[in-house]
């Protein structure tokens, strides 16, 4: 077979059945062969960055390797932000990129693609020649899994037209990692934990992947420790009486008060970054034990008192066994008063609603959406000022929560949501996005959602400006006019592409918008445009500090 056929065959041999693509000279015949010979679901994006972001959303939603393909030169340069997002989000993605022919130095799209990819933090895997295609594809797939980042498979165009006798490589199945803790590390950690009088357990995405929920609940019972979760473990302890919810800048008042009085934080698979720790202020006065499968994650952002390398579930079980063996007495931190406060806490009554006829308070909007949108949803949040409200939307499980702001960029959510929706077609996908983010990186892909017939609900928080910049200008006493934009009517644009739409300009409109969602025809996505007052939001954030 020819080289491009061999690349396609090697991908399929490794279980690839969905590829997100923008086709060009460098990858056209790879994509064509995937469809014609192997019946692969080739999802066409309108921009190369969006193809990679769709692969990221698909990977997050399915737990499998996301795959995208782009052409050489500008096709690859267009993916830079998406590649960095994938690196920071630690997402296994394979990007099959064409490259200009080796012998054609003056090709207009010639570029040092290795240097470009390396600068993003992604991995670079060259196809060395036609005879090594199967081996090079296999290596790239393995690297994506083990390195937890995008790997760019670089395929020179001349290699694609060389003849090759294809010899398949065995399909790769990522092994389950159940690493037991080092006894000395565990002893040091247990010395700290056993002496704590007000311990709290914090679970992150590593605990979710480990399936450690039940073990951590039992550990909490043995220790008398309330339970908290990082943003990426949203909803992990839902239904537990001592669930504090999110640990970090999004902690609700009852949780914040409880966490402030804790003397020990026992962390399982959470990164302890700036947001999870409130710029480390939430660690003040606490001893910290950090359990993580990846030793590089321990002491990465903060220096901890004890680090334990191991699988969250295995380590939690070992801790329980040790505590039970010495007949450890639970702390008194779990009080009936705390249980009552958590049970009675209503986020809808924790602020003064600022809605009026013409704009809605984003906090009230989010809480009404939380109740009115389909409950079996997966949720994707774009970046932007609105996200600090939208991130409080609940999800059935942490796996139903997908982020796209690891790089701090707006505009990456729409394509991520499309990939997630393709990956899990059996449930509705809710995308929350700001007006600036939708214009920057998502508007054109609305047509892709229609073409694919996705069960997608897009909620646009529209304050008609770039919100973070508006806040900064106001806070410094400047005229915020530079942050405002004259956007098109999003409902009209979406309707022209085939969306069902609803517009919210007052609280009275929310119920009718939910009716549009409830009555949406099969295969017709919905866009809801909610009017937000930028000046009101700036006032709210200034009050919050």
Residue 348, pLDDT > 80, answer no
- In which residue are the tokens 């699988």 written? 311
Long-range contacts of 285-288 (CB under 8 A, 24+ apart): 286/262, 287/192, 287/196, 287/263, 288/264
pLDDT class for 545, splitting at 50, 70, 90?
A: low
Give the 3-state DSSP-derived string for 19-78, with helices as H, strands as E and coil as C: EEECCCCCCHHHHHHHHHHHCCEEEECCCHHHHHHHHHHHHHHHCCCEEEEECCCHHHHC
The answer to whether 391 and 250 have CB atoms below 8 angstroms apart is yes
Q: What is the pLDDT of residue 259?
A: 96
Percent of the chain with pLDDT over 70: 99
- Strand 456-462's sheet: what is its strand order? 401-403, 378-381, 429-434, 456-462, 526-531, 500-504
Q: What is the pLDDT of residue 475?
A: 87
Residue 95, pLDDT > 60, answer yes
Q: Per DSSP, what are the bridge partners of residue 41?
A: 18
Pairing of strands 93-99, 41-44: unpaired
CA atoms within 13 A on the CB side of 98: 29
- Kindly report which listed range (68-77, 319-328, 347-356, 500-509) carries the lowest average pLDDT score: 347-356
Q: What is the pLDDT of residue 58?
A: 97
Residues in the chain: 545
Q: What is the pLDDT of residue 113?
A: 95
Q: What is the pLDDT of residue 400?
A: 96
- Strand 199-203's sheet: what is its strand order? 243-246, 227-229, 199-203, 264-268, 287-292, 306-309
| Interval 462-497: pLDDT, tens | 999 998 899 889 989 999 999 999 999 999 999 999
465 phi/psi in degrees, rounded to 5: -160, 175
3-state secondary structure of 92: coil
Output the DSSP codes for 359-396: B--HHHHHHHHHHHS-TT-EEEE-SSTTHHHHTT---S
pTM: 0.94
d(CA 158, CA 252): 58
Q: What is the pLDDT of residue 186?
A: 96
The answer to whether 377 and 424 have CB atoms below 8 angstroms apart is no
Residue 541, pLDDT > 80, answer no
Q: State the DSSP code for 17.
A: -
| Interval 151-200: pLDDT, tens | 999 999 999 999 999 999 988 777 777 889 999 999 999 999 999 999 99
d(CA 389, CA 395): 14
| Cα separations in angstroms, 233 against 254, 269, 389, 403 | 19, 10, 17, 11
pLDDT class for 543, splitting at 50, 70, 90?
A: low
d(CA 232, CA 271): 10
For residue 274, what are its two tokens?
Answer: 């700036």
Q: Provide mean pLDDT across the span 365-393.
A: 94
For residue 419, what are its two tokens?
Answer: 């990939």
For residue 409, what are its two tokens?
Answer: 């960029």
| Cα separations in angstroms, 540 against 18, 252, 544 | 44, 16, 6
CA atoms within 13 A on the CB side of 171: 9
Q: What is the pLDDT of residue 103?
A: 79
Count, in order, helices (H) and strands (E) of the chain: 23, 18
Q: What is the pLDDT of residue 539?
A: 83
For residue 77, what are its two tokens?
Answer: 């340069």
d(CA 481, CA 30): 48
pLDDT class for 544, splitting at 50, 70, 90?
A: low
Exposure letters 75-114 (e unless 16+ CB within 10 A, then b): bbebbbbbbbbbbbbebbbbbbbbbbbeeeeebebebebe
pLDDT class for 315, splitting at 50, 70, 90?
A: very high
3-state secondary structure of 401: strand
d(CA 76, CA 57): 19
Q: What is the pLDDT of residue 459?
A: 98
């Amino acid at each position: 077979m020819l080289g491009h056929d061999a690349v396609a065959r090697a991908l399929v041999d490794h279980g690839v059945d969905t590829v997100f693509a923008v086709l060009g000279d460098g990858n056209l015949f790879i994509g064509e062969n995937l469809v014609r010979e192997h019946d692969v679901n080739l999802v066409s994006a309108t921009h190369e960055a969006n193809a990679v972001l769709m692969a990221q959303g698909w990977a997050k939603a399915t737990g499998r390797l996301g795959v995208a393909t782009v052409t050489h030169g500008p096709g690859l340069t267009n993916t830079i932000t998406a590649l960095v997002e994938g690196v920071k989000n630690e997402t296994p993605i394979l990007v099959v990129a064409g490259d200009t022919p080796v012998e054609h130095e003056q090709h207009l799209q010639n570029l040092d693609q290795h240097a470009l990819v390396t600068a993003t933090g992604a991995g670079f895997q060259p196809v060395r020649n036609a005879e090594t295609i199967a081996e090079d594809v296999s290596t790239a797939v393995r690297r994506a899994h083990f390195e937890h980042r995008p790997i760019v498979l670089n395929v020179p165009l001349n290699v694609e037209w060389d003849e090759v006798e294809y010899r398949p490589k065995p399909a790769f199945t990522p092994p389950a990692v159940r690493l037991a803790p080092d006894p000395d590390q565990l002893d040091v950690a247990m010395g700290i934990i056993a002496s704590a009088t007000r311990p709290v357990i914090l679970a992150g995405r590593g605990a979710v992947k480990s399936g450690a929920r039940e073990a951590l609940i039992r550990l909490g019972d043995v220790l008398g420790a309330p339970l908290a979760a990082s943003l990426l473990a949203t909803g992990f302890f839902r239904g537990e009486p001592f669930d504090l919810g999110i640990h970090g800048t999004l902690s609700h008042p009852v949780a914040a008060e409880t966490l402030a009085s804790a003397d020990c934080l026992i962390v399982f698979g959470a990164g302890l970054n700036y947001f999870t720790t409130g710029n480390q202020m939430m660690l003040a006065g606490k001893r910290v034990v950090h359990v993580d499968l990846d030793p590089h994650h321990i002491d990465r952002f903060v220096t901890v008192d004890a680090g334990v390398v191991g699988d969250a579930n295995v380590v939690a079980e070992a801790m329980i066994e040790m505590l039970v063996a010495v007949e450890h007495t639970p702390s008194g931190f779990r009080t009936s008063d705390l249980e009552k406060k958590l049970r009675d806490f209503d986020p809808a009554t924790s602020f003064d609603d600022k809605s009026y006829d013409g704009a809605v308070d984003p906090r009230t909007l989010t809480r009404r959406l939380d109740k009115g949108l389909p409950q079996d949803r997966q949720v994707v949040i774009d970046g932007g000022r609105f996200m600090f409200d939208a991130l409080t939307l609940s999800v059935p499980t942490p796996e139903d929560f997908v982020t796209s702001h690891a790089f701090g960029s707006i505009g990456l959510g729409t394509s991520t949501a499309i990939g997630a929706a393709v990956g899990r077609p059996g449930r509705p996908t809710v995308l929350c996005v700001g007006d600036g983010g939708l214009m920057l990186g998502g508007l054109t892909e609305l047509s892709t959602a229609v073409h694919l017939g996705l069960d997608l609900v897009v909620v646009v928080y529209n304050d008609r400006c770039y919100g973070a910049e508006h806040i900064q200008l106001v806070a410094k006493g400047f005229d915020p006019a530079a942050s405002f934009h004259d956007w098109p009517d999003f409902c009209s644009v979406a309707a022209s592409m085939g969306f069902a739409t609803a517009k919210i300009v007052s609280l009275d409109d929310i119920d009718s918008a939910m009716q549009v969602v409830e009555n949406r025809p099969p295969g017709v996505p919905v866009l809801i445009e909610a009017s937000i007052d930028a000046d009101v939001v700036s006032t709210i954030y200034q009050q919050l500090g």
